[in-house]
Amino acid sequence: MIRNTQHAIRNTQWLVGGITIALVLLALLAPLPAALAGGAAPQERHITISARSFAFEPGTVRVNRGDTVIVNLESTDVVHGLYVDGYGVATQAEPGRPGQLTFVADHVGAFRFRCNVACGNLHPFMIGKLEVGPNLTWLRAIAATLITAVGALAVFWKH
């Protein structure tokens, strides 16, 4: 009797665990309707980013999916670069000689942009953030975390 009960509990745990993993994968990977993935009509965005040791100003840049982003990089002290993670595009600037960079923001989410010219001790941490909205990666991660939490509690509640 006890053995049967334990067996049933274990089967239920596997079932709940499997459903949880499936839901987490769904939350993270399921394709979404285009209406959700892109809000406003694409437009051209001219953004000036000022670089100094060891910060970008503004540190966070927000655009919409599909926007054509034209970055004007200005350096106020030494030579700095700007490389955008996930897009693989880069430019460089030195005082008085700005750099320019153009790309279409076709991936949604938050991406780090970083200096790609050694500019001093904190160079590896000279980082900014590009948000291509709506930030579905973050929303998906929230959903996956909540599903994981509820699922894990359900699986291990009685075990």
Partner 1 sequence: MRYAISETPVIKRVLRSRWLQWSLTALTLLFFVLAIIAGLAGTPAGNRNFGIVFVWIVWWALLILLLVPFAGRLWCGVCPIPAPGEWLQRRALVQPRPGGKLYTLSKQWPRAFRNIWLQNAGFLGVALFSSIILTTPMATALVLLGFMIVAIGTSLVFERRTFCRYLCPVGGFIGLYSQVAPLELRVKDTAVCASHTEKTCYTGSDAGYGCPWLVFPGGLTNNTTCGLCTECLKTCTRDNIAIFVRQPGADLLKTTGHKLDEAYKGLIMLACGFIYSTVLIGPWGVLKETARAVGTPGWFAYAGIFLALNLAVFPGLFWLAVRAGSIPNPKYPMSRLFADYAAVLVPLGLTAWVAFSLSFVLINFSYAWSVLSDPLGWGWNLLGTVGLKWTPYIPGLVPYLQVPVLLLGLTAALALALRTARQYGQSPWAATPVAIFCAAATLGLLGLYLA
Which residues in this chain contact partner 1 in the complex, by CB under 8 A? 24, 28, 52, 54-57, 59-60, 83, 85-88, 107, 109-112, 114, 116, 118, 120-129, 135, 137-138, 141-142, 144-146, 148-149, 152-153, 155-159
Least Cβ distance, residue 127 to partner 1 (angstroms): 6
Provide, rounded to whole angstroms, the least separation between the CB of residue 155 and partner 1: 8
Mention every residue, 6+ apart, whose C-beta is less than 8 A from residue 61.
47, 49, 69, 113, 128, 129, 130, 131
Burial 22-42 (b: 16+ CB within 10 A, else e): ebbeebeeeeeeeeeebeeee
Kind and range of the H or E run holding 82? strand 80-84
Please identify, using beta-carbon distances, which residue of 43 and 142 lies nearer to partner 1: 142
Q: How far is the CB of 83 from partner 1 (least distance, A)?
A: 7
Cis ω for the linkage preceding 42 (within 30 of 0): no
* Residue 36 or 43 with smaller CB distance to partner 1: 36
Minimum separation from the CB atom of position 102 to partner 1 (A)? 19
